[in-house]
Structure 1
Amino acid sequence: MLSRTPTRRRRLAFLNAATAVAVTAAGLATLASQAYAATGCKVTYTIASEWPGGFTANVDITNLGDPLSGWTLGWSFSAGQQVTSGWNATFSQSGGNVTATNVSYNGSLATGGVASIGFQGSWTSANPVPGSFTLNGVTCTGDVGGSPSPTQSPTRSPSSSPSASPTRSPSPSPSPSPSPSQSPSGPPPTGLIGWATQGGGTTGGAGGSNTTVTSLSALTAAVKGTAAKTVQINGNFSCSDDVRVGSNTTVVGVGASSGLTGCGLNLADATNVIVRNLKISKVLASNGNGDAIHLDNTKRAWIDHNDLSSDTSHGTDYYDGLLDITHASDYVTVSWNKLHDHVKCSLVGHSDNNASEDTGHLRVTYHHNAFQTCAQRNPRVRFGNPVHVFNNYYYKNPSYTDYSYGVAATCGAGVLVEGNYFENVSDPTHTKEGSSPGGSIVARNNYFVNSGTPQTSGSVASIPYSYSVDTPSTVKTTVLANAGTGHI
């Protein structure tokens, strides 16, 4: 893939609780006066995932009173929990008292309006939900005027529970990540899981317009801009330059063969994008960036049930990737895709020299994808930690000689490789590649058929979301039956 000069980034405000400055009661009163008094509110607090010592929570704030031009939500933790990072709000904590203040884009809250925020936290002995909340200093009772209604709806999503399952993995390695429960093979899930659920979640064009396009020119026009929109592609369009996709967009193919031949989709400086059910055969790097799908400084993206390959009618090579994720892209899930018949299939992080931009980002989940005769980069990862690779099927055609490895971690990246099925892959994982410095790989519960021993080293950061791992020996059948186009 081709490098690009990084542009100025817009980032959500994250604040470490250990260095937070408490909001005083006088300051809270001043803010409430400036933003109008809230006369009624309801809060839904959901523990989305939990593991030993850590958890994530989602908080929905419903304004039942007068419209607000700014807001601060307050609550107290009773068991010593600490907020460590958050999204869609600026968090501050003093002792057990926590405040979350709106950021620039969600300060206006109409009557009946809902603001959704979330955070990652730590806990020690227990993690009870808060008992009450205040909005701009007014206690939330679920009604206007303080009627005795439930203060909030505290809920917990089931947390991942450890479960040992014997497999043919020659050297499973320990990991600080929570071990998920094993689940039997069955119908594939259609819902979103993984990193794209974090950072505020990924909804694409939900709630916006819905357009069906039948030509390349109509597609190019329809996917522009930041307004919420769903664009359905009916047909396969030949092209010679990338199709640029804007934020808050869902792009979905109609049937099993709709998509692009000769170029790809370019998601650059975009947020909240979903790409599903597209068949993309790309050609040479001279056509756009050379990738079938390219994420460049894209946050919150779901790439699901696509078929990505080389256009073999133009010969072989195709130096660039089928799916490359670069320039501090973050919160990405890649699920149920077929990537096949290519050399360098999926890259995370484009350069060894881009640590200043990429460190702390490039968090990607790959699950239930088929990497079929993809010679390398399945994926190759720089800087991202943790990148999560589970329940994928890897296959090398025995007659194909240009094959080097499956998954690689370089430049300090941390990759958790678990529950995958490797067939005819002599080097399933590498802890370094080429001239790049090494990274960490933790491999556990993988299944190997005529394949080599994975390289492992170091540790990987904890996975913050809930997930289940299929029995590794069933992954080949499940993925081949349900990955790619025509299954959504």
Structure 2
Amino acid sequence: MVHRAWAATAVLAATIAVSAFAVGRADAATLLSDDFADGNSAGWSTSGGSWSVSAQAYRQSSTGADAKAQAGATVWTDYTVRARVQPLAFGNSTRAAGVTARAQNMTSFYALVLTGGGTAQLRRVSGGGVTVLASAPVPVSTGTWYTLALWVNGSQLSGAVDGVTVVSATDATFAAGRVGLVASYTSAVFDDVTVDGGPGTPPSPSASAPPSPSASPRPSPSASPSPSASASPSPSASPSRPPSPSPSTSPGPVPPNQADGFAGVNALGQNGTYGGVGGPTVVVDTTEELLTAIDTIGPMIIQVQGAITIDSKRGVRPNKTIIGLGSTATINGGGFDFYRSYNVIVRNLTFTNAEDDAVNVGQNSHHVWIDHNRFVAPVDGSIDIVRGAEYVTVSWNHFDHTDKSMLIGHSDGSGSEDIGHLKVTVHHNFFDHSRQRHPRVRWGDPVHVYNNYFLGNELYGVASTQNAGVLLEGNYFENVPYPCFSASGYADSGPGRLVQRNNVFVASGPCEVSGTVADPGAHYSYIVAAPGTVPATVTSGAGPGRL
């Protein structure tokens, strides 16, 4: 039951906001208390997931949605929100459940969460983008109850698990807002939610992690069996095509250390892209070790040390993270090939002198994240995404004087295998005097190209052909004679569709636009930074050694 004086919410909350700094006790005022014993969720608003009250607790039963529930007043400032939380099934090790504070809306708030990977994280979520402010290892088991407390006082934030403070940070983004519960691609049960007004005192920090949680302090409020952690949602149908996608123009934070864009979408049995999480970590510094590792069945995190020479394109099996150590890890002479592969991350590597493509994502591969790499002098393409591949994100890479940078859709005659696929996000890449294909697209819709820096691209920037649909927004073009092709096609390829919005063109030609494009925002949340900030942001952040 929620105990509150809603008729006087604004007056009470304003009084608390004014008087909170003069109160030194955590119990200065109870703003909200809900034990769900009345069998309903009156006063709570929800977004995503499947929420219900059963067995005197609040249950979110889906692992296929970023689910939130919120209550309280937007003028609440300094307080502690507490709740008992029982994770039932995590979509993967990065998914999370917990409590939120100072919520502006369903996509902007502070959160204290437990993750499937065994961490407590203090997060700032802004426009759907996640920044981890602090993190600590914590034993996390499904089916076990934990008491989480998130304390906010001015710019000071602290999070406690079972009475022990494990994470703290300073952040002044949100000064006031509602409280809430979050179950991000995680099924969970919540109970005994309380909000105490006034700054109070957070639990004393402990040098050690909190003790392993005990069994439920009261019978688990499970009205139905817990879903399996490996259960995956069915892919959603393609969205209808609006005349123009809805803009998202607020400056965004540095990308979180997880796949975003299309690689972060739940589809085709995958809950985003998380690579080799859950498998062993190996360090490779020879050709034999690398080729053995990428051909191993099962999840694995492969750390590349130094320069390794391979030939041709070498196949990579599913569920792998291939990541360079430091800033000098190099793959020379060859590249990686994905054939019906999935859930692979390629990060922090330099690819040099590939005798074919450096990275080829092909033959119905999906959920691949290519991030913070550098491409130098491949004989053919730096990155090809072809033959029905989809749910790929290419982010924060440096294409250093390459010729053919990125091809999406390999042939004018491949429509039968490519239409409805080739969903790709391309953001924050530095196309540094690379000649063409940034990208060149056939058939794919939507291909989302945002906040990239195009500098001195001799032939052209982006080409949308063969009825592809490209959304181009918040990019910065400098000394690019032909930034965009679409209505006229390109070379022997027929016309495509291209919507451009809020791009900057300096000493560059006009951008050719045509038609409408499907909205990537129907698939995932994103934030477009002001295009004038892109050159500095991208040149300082793209490429290896800058994770």
Coarse TM-score class (shorter-chain normalised):
0.5 to 0.7
What's the CA shift for 1:239? 2.4
More strand by share: 2
What residue number does 1:43 align with?
61
SS at match of 1:324: strand
Say whether the 8 Å CA contact 1:42–1:151 is kept in structure 2: no
Are the structure 2 counterparts of residues 222 and 46 from structure 1 closer, same or farther at C-alpha, using a change threshold of 3 Å? closer
Deviations 1:298-355 (A, max 9, x none): 11010000001106xxxxxx3x210111111110000000012122110001011111
Aligned CA distance change for structure 1 residues 176 and 282 (closer, same or farther; 3 Å): same
In the alignment, which residue of structure 1 is the partner of 2:463? 408
**Which of residues 282, 285, 299 in structure 2 aligns to 1:211?**
282
**Residue equivalent to 1:190:** 257
SS of corresponding position for 2:401: strand
Cα deviation for residue 238 of structure 1 reads: 2.0
Q: Aligned ranges for residues 146-295 of structure 1 at < 5 Å?
A: 175-183=243-251, 187-198=254-265, 199=267, 200-284=271-355, 290-295=356-361
Note the alpha carbon deviations across 1:401-446, whole angstroms, 9 max, x for none: xx22110111111000000000100111100111111110000000
Letter in 2 for 1:299: H
1:383-416 CA-to-partner distances (Å, cap 9, x unmatched) read: 110000000000117xxxxx22110111111000
TM-score of the aligned structures, taking structure 2 as reference length: 0.56
Mark the runs of 5 or more structure 2 residues left unpaired by the alignment.
1-58, 69-85, 91-140, 145-180, 182-186, 192-215, 226-241
Give the secondary structure class of the aligned counterpart of 1:469: coil
Equivalent position amino acid for 2:359 in 1: I
**Root-mean-square deviation over aligned CA pairs:** 3.2
Letter of the structure 2 residue corresponding to residue 333 of structure 1: T
Contact 2:377 2:403 (C-alpha < 8 Å) held by counterparts: no
Structure 1 residue runs without a partner (length 5+): 1-40, 51-59, 65-110, 115-128, 130-134, 153-173, 285-289, 312-317, 398-402
Paired residue for 1:338, among 398, 412, 418?
398
Question: Conserved in 2, the CA contact under 8 Å of 1:141 and 1:147?
Answer: no
1:181 aligned partner, one-letter code: T
TM-score (norm 1): 0.63
Structure 1 residues 191 and 147: CA distance shift in structure 2, 3 A: closer
Q: How does 1:444-483 map to 2 (within 5 A)?
A: 444-463=501-520, 464-483=523-542
Return closer, same or farther for 1:309/1:427 CA change in 2, 3 Å cut-off.
same
Q: Residues of 2 paired with 1:49 and 1:482: CA distance?
A: 31
Identity across matched positions, percent:
39
Give 1:192 shift. Answer: 2.2
Partner of 1:267: helix, strand, or coil? Answer: strand
The Cα of 1:61 is off from its aligned counterpart by 9.5
Return the alpha-carbon distance in structure 1 between the equivalents of residues 347 and 405 of structure 2.
18
Larger-gyration structure (1/2): 2
Alignment: residue pair count: 331
Partner of 1:396 in structure 2? 456
Match of 2:495 in 1: 438
SS in 2 for 1:220: helix
Q: Could you tell me whether the CA contact under 8 Å between 1:333 and 1:366 is conserved in 2?
A: yes
Q: Distance in 1 between matches of 2:410 and 2:143?
A: 41
CA distance in 1, matches of 2:354, 2:62: 49
Q: 2:374 aligns with which of 303, 307, 317?
A: 307
1:93-104 pair list within 5 angstroms? none
Provide the rounded CA distance (Å) in 2 between the counterparts of 1:282 and 1:151: 56
Q: Name the amino acid aligned to 1:465.
A: Y
Q: Secondary structure at the match of 1:475?
A: helix
Corresponding residue number in structure 2 for 1:156? none
TM-superposed CA distance for 1:146, in Å, is 9.3
In structure 2, how many angstroms separate the alpha carbons of the residues matched to 1:471 and 1:292? 31
Distance 1:485 1:147 in 2: 47
Note closer, same or farther for the CA distance 1:233–1:63 as it changes in structure 2 (3 Å cut).
closer
The alpha-carbon deviation at position 255 of structure 1 amounts to: 1.2
Instruction: Say which SS state the counterpart of residue 425 (structure 1) adopts.
Output: coil
- Quickly say closer, same or farther: Cα 1:471–1:417, change in 2 above 3 A: same
| Aligned mates of 2:353, 2:243 — CA distance in 1 | 37
Q: Is the 8 A contact 1:48 1:466 kept in 2?
A: no
Give the Cα–Cα distance (whole angstroms) in 1 for the partners of residues 492 and 515 of structure 2.
19
